[in-house]
Amino acid sequence: MHRNRLTLLVPLLIVAAAPAAPRAPRLNDQVTNLLATARLSGNLDSFGRGLRGAADEVIYDPRRGDFARPSQYHEYGVGFGQDLGVVPADKAAWWQAEWPARVAVNLIMLSGVYPNQPQPATAWKIEVRRDGAWTTHEQGVGGWYDSGLYVWGGVDTAPMDIDGLRVSLFSRDDETPLRSIHFRGEPGRSWLAARVDTTILPPPPTFEALIAPLGAPVRPGQAVAFNGGAALAKGEYTWDFGDGASGRGQSIRHRFERPGIYRVALTVSDGRAKSTGLMLVRVHTAETLDVPQVVLDTDQKNEQDDQHYLGYAVFSELDVLAVNSIHHGGGQEPINYAEIQHVLDLARQSGLPAARVPLLFHGADRRLQPPVSGLWQDTEPEPSEASEAILAAVRGAAPGHAVWVVPVGPGTNVASAILLARAQKLDLRGRLRIMWLGGSDHAVTGEFNGDNDPWSLYVIAQSGVETWILPAPVGARVAIDKRTQGDLYADNPLGAYLKSIVPAANKPLFDPACLSAIISERLGLGWVKATEFVDVAGPDKGYRWTPSAKPGAVRVIREIQQLAMRDDIFATMKGRGQRLVGAPIARAGAR
C-alpha cells in the first residue's frame, strides 16, 4: 500500500538522541539489501552471558517483503538483563558484514534497541572496510542506538565502495558497564545497506492525494461523486474503484453494481513522483444502513481472547470493514498479522462467506513518542497501512454513521490516524468512534495494554474524538472455563482452534466484550450497565482519569452484564447471535 508514498531521500545523517525517531525511507521491492548477500558474524557469544538470536536475524529484505531469516524477535544480543561489566573499546561487542569484493553503498539504515532496554550510556562505532583496512564512519554515545534510527545517505549521495561494515558497542568510560546490549531489526527499516537512485526510489512527492469524504451512504446502482481535491494543478489523477473499474480525472462519478466493501484508490502523479490516497466504501442495502461499521485493531498473539474477539466479530452482523495488526512495543506486529491471517482462514473453513471476509492491513510496529513540548498535538505519528485504513474508512463513512475503531491493545494506529487527520484538516466528528480495551480502574496505566502505549491513549483522549474505555478489570468479568463450559464452542475448525488454545482454567475474554458493548449500544440491550465521563491526565499525573461534570469525549465503562455478553459471543460463532441487519434504531443508549 505504501509503495507509491516514498519518503526521504536526501543525504542525511541522524546520530543524536531525539524525542522522535526519524522517518524511515519507504523501501520498495526493487531495493536490494546488500547485507543479505554478505557473510554476517558477531562476537556476542564470547561474553558468556547467553545469546539471543543470530547475526543474520536482523536483516530486512525489501525484495522479499520480510526478514532474510524470519524469527520472532529479529535480534542479535546477549541474555536479557545480563551485565557485561565495563567493556573497553578495544574489546568491544560487535556485529559485522563482509563481502568477497567491493560493493557500492549510498544508503545505510540501522535501528536502535527495544524501548524496554534503553542504552543512553552505551558508546557505539560504525566502521567501513576497504581492502582490509577499517576506518571509522561515525561514532557516538546513546543517540540512535538508544532510541530511533541511524540513516546515512540517500538517492543524492555518492556511493562509497566498501567490502565490510561493522557496528561495535562498548563502555563510554572506565566506570559505565554494558547491560542488555543487542542489535534489533525492524520490518521495512533495517538493518540495510544498499545502493539506491531515482530509478529505484523516486523522490518523495511534494503533494498528497486525498479523497474528499462522502456526503451520504452509497447504494447499488447509485452514481457517486468522488473528488480528489487539488493535490496537483497539472497532475494525472487515476482512480481504481476496487470493483474492476478505473477512471481518470480529478473529479469523477462511479456506480457500484453490488453491495460490499470496496477499496477505492486515487493515485496522483506529476510524471516523476506519485502519491496514493485511499477510501473504504461500504455499498449498502436498505437493511445494512444502520449496522455499526467497525475497524478492528488487534494483537492476536498476545492473549487467547484476541482470537475469540476476531471470531466473534466476523461471525456477528457487525459490518467489519478491516482488521489491523498492532504491536506491543516493537517486533511483534508481523506475528500478530500472521495470526490474523490464520484465524480468518479458519473462519472461512467454518463457513464465513467470502463477502464477509474483511480487508487486512499491517499496523505500526513501535509506540508513539511524547514530543519535547509535551503537547499531544506535536506528537509525530507512526504512519502505517493501518492508520491509512482507518482514515480511508472514515472518508467512506456517511455523516452521522461513524466508524467504530476498536483497539484492543496499544492505540498507536488510531492515535496516528487522528494526528494525520489533523494535518490533513479532516474533520473526524461524527465519522469516528473509539472503543479501547485497556487500563486499570483509575488510569490508562496499571495494566498491560495501557502500560505498553500510554501516550497514544492520551493523544486519543485529548483529540475530542468520541472515545469509550473498557478497563481491563471490567472486561475480565466476561470469562470462560472450558472444563465446564466447553460445549459453548462451535463444532467447526474455528471453534476447535479456540477451544484448544484457551487455558482449561477460568480465562477472561477481555477483547470480545468491546464488541458486545457496541452491539448493546446499537440495540439498546443494556449490557453496558454503568458508564462515567472522565478527563484523562498526562504522564505528569500518571495518566489518571478523574470524573468530569460535563459530557466529554471519554466515557469509561464501569459495569457490564457479563453473562449476556458471554452468551452472545459463543452463540454468534454458532450462527445464533444478535440480529443487527434490519434492526430498528434503539432509543436506549442512543446519543
pLDDT digits (tens, 9 = 90+) for 349-397: 999 998 899 999 999 988 888 998 999 999 999 999 999 999 999 999 9
| Contacts made by residues 17-20, CB under 8 angstroms, sequence distance 24+ | 17/120, 17/142, 17/143, 17/144, 17/146, 17/147, 17/148, 18/147, 18/148, 19/369, 19/370, 19/371, 19/372, 20/148, 20/369, 20/371, 20/379, 20/380
Per-residue pLDDT tens digits for 523-556 = 999 999 999 999 999 999 999 999 998 777 799 9
The pLDDT, as a whole number, for residue 330 is 62
In whole angstroms, what is the distance from residue 304 CA to residue 389 CA? 25
322-334: average pLDDT: 85
Per-residue pLDDT tens digits for 564-581 = 999 999 999 999 999 999
293-312: average pLDDT: 95
10-32: average pLDDT: 54
The pLDDT, as a whole number, for residue 23 is 59
The pLDDT, as a whole number, for residue 467 is 97
108-123: average pLDDT: 89
Measure CA 443 to chain center. Answer: 23
**Nearest CA to 525 among 576, 579, 574?**
579
Are 295 and 406 in contact by the 8 Å Cβ rule? The answer is yes
pLDDT category at 199 given cuts 50, 70, 90 is: confident
The pLDDT, as a whole number, for residue 279 is 96
In whole angstroms, what is the distance from residue 243 CA to residue 389 CA? 18
Task: Give the number of other CB atoms < 10 A from CB of residue 248.
Answer: 9
Per-residue pLDDT tens digits for 25-57 = 668 888 999 999 999 999 999 999 999 999 999
Most confident of 139-153, 340-354, 389-403: 340-354
The pLDDT, as a whole number, for residue 505 is 86
227-236: average pLDDT: 81
pLDDT at residue 141 greater than cutoff 70: yes
Pairing relationship of beta strands 133-141 and 192-194 according to DSSP bridges: unpaired
**The pTM is what?**
0.76
**Nearest CA to 314 among 391, 375, 261, 380?**
261
